[in-house]
Amino acid sequence: MLEVNGKILETDDEGYIENMDDWSPEIAERMAANDDCELTDNHWEVIKLMRNYYEEYKISPTVRVLTREIRKTLGADKGNSRYLYALFPYGPIKQAGKYAGLPKPSTCV
Amino acid sequence: MCINRRAPYGTIYALEGLEVVLMGAAFEQDISVVYLDDGVYQLKKGQDTTDSSIKNFSPTYRALASYGVEKLYVETESMEDRGLSEHDLIVPVKMISGAELTELMEQQDVILNY
Amino acid sequence: MLHTVNKSPYEKGSLDTCLRLAKQGSTILLIEDAVYAAITGSSLESKIRQASKQYEFCVLGPDLKARGLDEAKLIDSIRVVDYGGFVDLAVSHDRVQSWL
């Protein structure tokens, strides 16, 4: 459960929200705060890309796929897994995906 | 190679076939995907499940390219039987005849059917 | 290649597609509801007899028995195997493809 701006959202035991249409940037901020993580512009780029990817394909990317997508749009400095894991130490797909309001990815890779 | 012979939604085969391909791709397997018989309906453009409360997974076929799965084959005879043409499909594919498919199957290490 | 088929030919097109696409010389093993294709006196008999010129047909005995099908009424080009025979077929072919 997550309370944002007086609104209560159901989440699963790992903190993923149930409906991605309920998402707002404030929700991402609150989830990050719960993880002691402060969202910077660098985080937001990835979160937005995760959301866009899911909107387009109805599936979360793998780290490899995300890396390639980021390399295409944001360049090689950011399109590598070291950079992504530094931003999202719990795993870029799980953590950025959760902040982006996406469902829990079905695969672990 | 993954061979898909079932229409989407009516059974779970189509979604399972798609997931196994994505899973294989995530593990960097060199995968060919074949759509055959009613399986060609999986790639039909314009699927919209908003009124039937099931997830429309057809956009995910377009993610196959970003997952590195580029060998998509559709059997010409199956398409013709159903009055479909390449323009009806959601992704670019290679059209092959049944005879070509027979040979292609012989070159595979593993064949999974869905 | 060993092809297995497990759906009734009267309900699904699995056997038809297998016969359309299996390379000449392949082995086709009928299991579960596909064993109904192996019986004489059906509308499929001539098709199976014709296909027997190109493929080696086998049928899983326990699945025939379970369905009350008499081995004496099998199309004579079809060989009955037990579970051990199924395993032998799987290991003696380089690949197995299951038509579902």
Tens-digit pLDDT string for chain A (109 aa): 888 888 888 899 899 999 999 999 999 999 999 999 999 999 999 999 999 999 999 999 999 999 999 999 999 999 999 999 999 999 999 999 999 999 998 765 5
Q: Of A58, A69, A107, which is closest to B60 when you measure between CB atoms?
A: A58
Across the strands, what pairs with B94? Answer: B73
pLDDT value of residue A3: 85
Assigned fold of B2-113: Hypothetical Protein Ychn; Chain: A, (3.40.1260)
Please give the C-alpha separations between residue B97 and each of B30, B104, C96, in angstroms, as whole numbers: 22, 10, 22
More confident residue, C57 or A105: C57
CB contact under 8 A, C14 and B102: no
Query: Residues C64-86: pLDDT tens digits?
Result: 999 999 999 999 999 999 999 99
CB contact under 8 A, B110 and C95: yes
CB contact under 8 A, B105 and C21: yes
> Which of C1, C4, C18, C20 best tests the B interface by mutation, with the highest count of B CBs <10 A?
C20
What CATH number matches the domain at A1-103, 1.20.120.790, 1.10.10.370, 3.10.20.440, 3.30.9.10? Answer: 1.10.10.370
pLDDT value of residue A107: 62
Note whether C98 contacts B: Cβ–Cβ < 8 A.
Answer: yes
Dihedral-angle region of residue A15 (phi above 0 means left; psi in -120 to 50 means alpha; beta otherwise):
left
Question: Cα distance from B98 to chain A (closest Cα, Å)?
Answer: 30
User: For residues B18-56, b (16+ Cβ closer than 10 Å) or e, as one string?
Assistant: bbbbbbbbbeeeebbbbbbbbbbbbbeeebeeeeeeeee
Nearest residue of chain B to residue A61 (CA atoms): B67
Note whether B56 contacts A: Cβ–Cβ < 8 A.
Answer: yes
Catalytic residue among A1, A56, A77, A108: A108
Angle at alpha carbon of residue C79, lines to B98 and C55, rounded to 5°: 20
User: For residues C27-62, b (16+ Cβ closer than 10 Å) or e, as one string?
Assistant: bbbbbebbbbbbbeebebeeebeebeeebebbbbbe
ipTM tops the 0.85 cut: yes
Q: Which residues in chain A have Cβ-Cβ distances shorter than 8 Å to B56?
A: 58
Nearest residue of chain A to residue B61 (CA atoms): A57
Work out whether strand C56-60 and strand C27-30 pair parallel, antiparallel, or are unpaired: parallel
Asked if residues A85 and A64 have their Cβ atoms less than 8 Å apart, the reply is no
Structural domain boundaries, residue C82: 2-99
Helix-helix angle A92-99:A41-57, to 10 degrees: 90
Q: What is the CATH number of the domain that holds C62?
A: 3.40.1260.10
3-state SS, one letter per residue, for chain A: CEEECCEEECECCCCCECCHHHCCHHHHHHHHHHCCCCCCHHHHHHHHHHHHHHHHHCCCCCHHHHHHHHHHHHCCCCCCHHHHHHHCCCCHHHHHHHHCCCCCCCCCC
A108 given a catalytic annotation? yes
pLDDT value of residue A108: 53
Look up residue A101 and give its two tokens. 């309001």
Task: Please state the domain count of chain C.
Answer: 1
Strands (E) across C1-100 are located at 2-5, 27-30, 56-60, 79-81, 96-99
For residue A43, which amino acid is it? H
Look up residue A73 and give its two tokens. 């749009």
What are the boundaries of each domain within chain B? Answer: 2-113
Asked if residues B112 and B1 have their Cβ atoms less than 8 Å apart, the reply is yes
